[in-house]
Amino acid sequence: MFVLWPLLCLALVFGDDQSAIPCDSQFPYYSGEYCYSKLPGSSPVNDLWVCEGYHSLPAIVTNAFDNAFLAKLLNGNSTWLGMLWNGTHVLPAGPGDVINYARWGPGQPKGNGTIVMGPDGYWHVLAKDERYSPYFCQHKAIEDCQGWRLERFHEDSGVMTVKVGNGVRQVYCDMTTQDGGWTLLQSRVDAKEPFWNRKWADYKQGFGTADPASNYWLGNEAAHVMTNLGSDTELLVEMWNDRQPGSNRTTAYWWAGYTNFSIDAESTSYTLYAWQDWRDILGNASANWYDLTYSSGRPFSTIDRINDPQAKSVSDFHLGGWWLYYGAFCSLNGEYVPPISWGNGYGMFWLVEDPKWQKGEPYQYVINPAHSKMMFRRVVKNGRMLATNRIQRVY
């Protein structure tokens, strides 16, 4: 317990700035895993209803850290926990499995029923006519923008805080495009940020301002964690306006959608996975070959860590900050003003294959977009997250 108290104090101070924790505004206490709301107690049944009204559950304790965290908030009072003792096991008051943790006080448990935590952090079974206050509702820390939308019903686009691994990050959430829930991965708006010559550490941690109107990269480590949450993840790529001299597409818009999207751990050099079903192409920028899908299964390269067998893809073609294998068929982090020539796969470019091609129109052409945006979200169907079904394919 001596080791835990400094950590608890940090968590409570951190919770004072509501915008800095991955919690709903009515849940100001953050333990590092859960968000808590502290309310006056009345009865277990009534409190359960109140928590459900907050789209949460009564506090459940499954380890010593959470127990100590709640005890610190009691200020000498007792609280009902959202758990029951059935004479054999500790169970959640709602649906759920047996809880393999307990902190019974001396002589406990006695009888069956609701579990109460005393001011010292020890548990006992609720006695007849016993009253308690406060009680706590809890929700799991939000891990991405889809969590803010689906679990906390947040509808406004903007910067939100999410839990990433053992820490927190502020990310930009797009809550309007295609029903929302998108986390911004990349935004490119002009030549002020070179992108292509940023080093490995920069791409690992991320850089820029989390805003689709700015030059921005979320960070490979955060993207790795957030695209491996146990749910299928989709990627949306958007591009605006071709900058090539003489282009007749200076006010055009392209987009492409990918499923089974994820970024692997740093030990794999942040290998990319992205997939398209050629029978159901999403968007007008890809036909499932000469674009991002070529980079699926490839490691990330930067100017100081080139994983492409063809080193000049970075050094000469200025495609750094991308997943390369003898180059690529797109590189939205390439140099904004391409070296060597426009429209030939150098710098920031995308090879468009129009899936809705018609005779008399170009089927393939290279663009140097003025603005690009990449966003991802967990896939939802019928209100539920779809389980991961990654297709590991190398072309």
Same domain for 28 and 157, yes or no, is: no
Nearest residue to 4 via CA among 130, 121, 89:
121
Contact by Cβ (8 Å): 74, 119: yes
What gap in Å lies between CA 225 and CA 205, rounded to an integer?
12
Residue 394 lies in a domain: no
Interval 11-20 mean pLDDT = 53
Same domain for 197 and 329, yes or no, is: yes
- Which of 140, 170, 201 delimits the end of a domain? 140
Q: How many domains does the chain have?
A: 2
Residue 74 lies in a domain: yes
What gap in Å lies between CA 23 and CA 143, rounded to an integer?
10
Assess whether the previous peptide bond of 6 is cis (omega < 30° from 0).
no
- Which of 140, 157, 179 delimits the end of a domain? 140
Q: Is 356 left (phi over 0), alpha (psi -120 to 50) or beta?
A: alpha
Residues 6+ apart with CB under 8 A from 133: 40, 41, 77, 79
Residue 212 lies in a domain: yes
Both tokens of 333, joined, read 């982090």
Q: How many other C-beta atoms lie within 10 A of the C-beta of residue 95? A: 7
Same domain for 238 and 352, yes or no, is: yes
Residue 45 lies in a domain: yes
Same domain for 197 and 300, yes or no, is: yes
Residue 69 lies in a domain: yes
Residue 284 lies in a domain: yes
Same domain for 121 and 170, yes or no, is: no
Per residue in 193-225, pLDDT (tens digit) is 999 999 999 999 999 999 999 999 999 999 999
Interval 223-234 mean pLDDT = 96
59 alpha carbon, distance to own chain's centre? 24
- SS3 sequence, the chain? CCCHHHHHHHHHHHCCCHHHCCCCCCCCEECCCEEEEEECCCCHHHHHHHHHHCCCEECCCCCHHHHHHHHHHCCCCCEEEEEEECCCCEEECCCCCCECCCCECCCCCCCCEEEEECCCCCEEECCCCCCCCCEEEEEECCCCHHHHHHCCCCCCCEEEEEEECCEEEEEEEECCHHHCCEEEEEEECCCCCCCCCCCHHHHHHCEECCCCCCCEECCHHHHHHHCCCCECEEEEEEEEEECCCCCCCCCCEEEEEEEEEEECCHHHCCCEEEECCCCCCCECCCCCCCCHHHHCCCCEEECCECCCCCCHHHHCCCCCCEECCCCCCEECCCCCCCCCCCCCCCCCEEEEECCCCCCCCCCEEEECEEEEEEEEEECEECCEECECCCCCCCC
Containing domain of residue 29, as a range?
A: 4-140
* pLDDT over 50 (residue 140): yes
Same domain for 91 and 219, yes or no, is: no
Same domain for 127 and 182, yes or no, is: no
What gap in Å lies between CA 349 and CA 341, rounded to an integer?
11
Residues 6+ apart with CB under 8 A from 258: 234, 235, 236, 237, 274, 275, 276, 282, 292, 293
Which residues in 272-303 are b (16+ Cβ under 10 Å) and which e? bbbbbeeeebbbbbbbbebbbbbbbbbbbbbb
Same domain for 156 and 288, yes or no, is: yes
Same domain for 16 and 131, yes or no, is: yes
Per residue in 241-266, pLDDT (tens digit) is 999 999 999 999 999 999 999 999 99
Same domain for 103 and 163, yes or no, is: no
- Which of 119, 140, 161 delimits the end of a domain? 140
Interval 382-393 mean pLDDT = 57
Residue 328 lies in a domain: yes
Same domain for 61 and 130, yes or no, is: yes
Q: To the nearest whole number, what is the mean pLDDT of the chain?
A: 90
Question: pLDDT tier at 286 (50, 70, 90 boundaries)?
Answer: confident
What gap in Å lies between CA 17 and CA 7, rounded to an integer?
17
* pLDDT over 50 (residue 280): yes
CATH number at residue 204: 3.90.215.10
CATH number at residue 124: 3.10.100.10
What gap in Å lies between CA 71 and CA 121, rounded to an integer?
5
Q: Taking the model in full, what pTM does it have?
A: 0.89
Per residue in 36-85, pLDDT (tens digit) is 999 987 777 777 888 988 899 999 999 999 999 999 999 999 998 999 99
Residue 367 lies in a domain: yes
Same domain for 240 and 336, yes or no, is: yes
Per residue in 301-351, pLDDT (tens digit) is 999 999 999 999 999 999 999 999 999 999 999 999 999 999 999 999 999
